[in-house]
A and B are shown apart, each in its own frame.
Chain A
Amino acid sequence: MTDHFIEDKSTKVAVNLEGMEPKVDFNDLKTGGFIKQRQKDLFAVRLRCPGGRMSTEKLLEISKIAHKYSKKGVVHFSFRQSLEILYVDYKEFNSIVVELENIGQKVASCGPRVRVPTACGGCEYNPNGLTDTQKMSDMVDKKFFGTRTPHKFKTSFSGCPIDCARTKEMDLGFQGVVEPVWDEGPCTGCTICSEACKEDAIASHPESGKPIFDPKKCLYCGDCIRACPTEAWKPKRYGHIARVGGRHGRHPLEAIEVCKFLPDEKVPDAIHKTVEWYNANGRRGERIGLVLKRVGIKNYLDFMEPVFKAGSAPDWECAPQGVKP
């Protein structure tokens, strides 16, 4: 359905609009990123900015290019963290692509393929962050960007259960988690952890002040670990909650949780195998959420078992700990 994008249509279409070298080969642009605007002759050029991160040096260069080619002198920050240069005349595709290439800036994707991953700031600078979301989105961009799929395939990374990168509405999303463990030794019964827990998963014992823990309510955010003055709460393991089958748009679907505490190093396998399953089971134009409904989640989980067994099952919960009520 993506005919409205400039995509590979089997034959090589080399345009050489103003005799400039190198020529723009539209097969090289097959991942799209040129979006027709409602205004005659004008297109938005969507840049590839994995995780919404960019060096200031590159940003300066892009500013110059955007200023030169945007007929209105505007850019737009897209909802998937890509910078779009608006009002670009198609007759100038040739030179804008060359100039972008010279500064090492790639154009983003449209159509039925793995899209540019999005990510929050994660643990690099956000105090809530539990995973290195930027490193992960960089990895996805390098390894999987542009891989063909039956329909679009969107991924994102959130550093913690606040889920700023909305993993619940992705085809495949990863959200950081930490498993808290409590050690009675250093605990002074100060009650700060029960104040810090926003999920009511920790109550304070009326006499000792020590934590009474309810694993059913825990979201694995780690607030208790960060707040405890004595390190009585400690991190046992970090990982990702993997969610599959979400989408946004006119008919949103909420992604299904399929694995808890998937370790960092298994994320590439999880994406690779999910795309493999999607390509084997999906029909053209069918998002993976609908494939899962048609084929059944069990089929997917069986296929993914070798990867997901590195984490815990979605219904896994923390061992009982803390003191008795």
Chain B
Amino acid sequence: MSDIKAAASLDLRGVVCPINFVKAKLKLDMMETGEVLELVLDSGEPIQNVPKSIKEEGHKILDVKKEEGHFRLKIQKG
């Protein structure tokens, strides 16, 4: 799963809630349905909140990788 090709990538480390979600949303809005966005999110609040909101907006989380102090997600635009 980790070798899914991402059309775009966004490193949101150090970006607080809910600005991180808004940035991800703006990016996804510019992409085509079915395209994949790679997101990097801090542990703690960002990883607690952003995946929920992404699901609520109808996108699909294809892959999640835990790295040191952060997570790398592959999001497919819904």
Contacts and interface: CB of A to CB of B under 8 A. Distances in A.
Contacts of B60: 229
A127 B64 contact: no
Interface string B42-78: 0110011001110110001111111000010000000
Given A229-B61, A229-B64, A192 B56 contact: no
Given A127-B53, A190-B66, A209-B66, A223 B48 contact: yes
A197 to B, nearest CB: 8
Dominant secondary structure at the B interface = mixed
Nearest to A229: B61
B55 A192 contact: no
A127 B50 CA distance: 12
Nearest to A230: B61
Category for how many chain B residues contact A: 10 to 19
A116 to B, nearest CB: 32
Interface string A195-222: 1101000000000010000000000000
A105 interface: no
Contacts of A188: 1, 63-64
B66 A198 contact: no
Contacts of A190: 64-66
A227 interface: yes
A40 to B, nearest CB: 50
Nearest to A197: B48
Given A192-B47, A192-B71, A227 B66 contact: no
A192 B64 contact: yes
Given A127-B56, A192-B71, A226-B55, A198 B64 contact: no
A127 B48 contact: no
Contacts of B1: 188
Contacts of A223: 48, 52
B26 to A, nearest CB: 19
Interface of A: 127, 188, 190-192, 195-196, 198, 209, 223, 226-227, 229-230
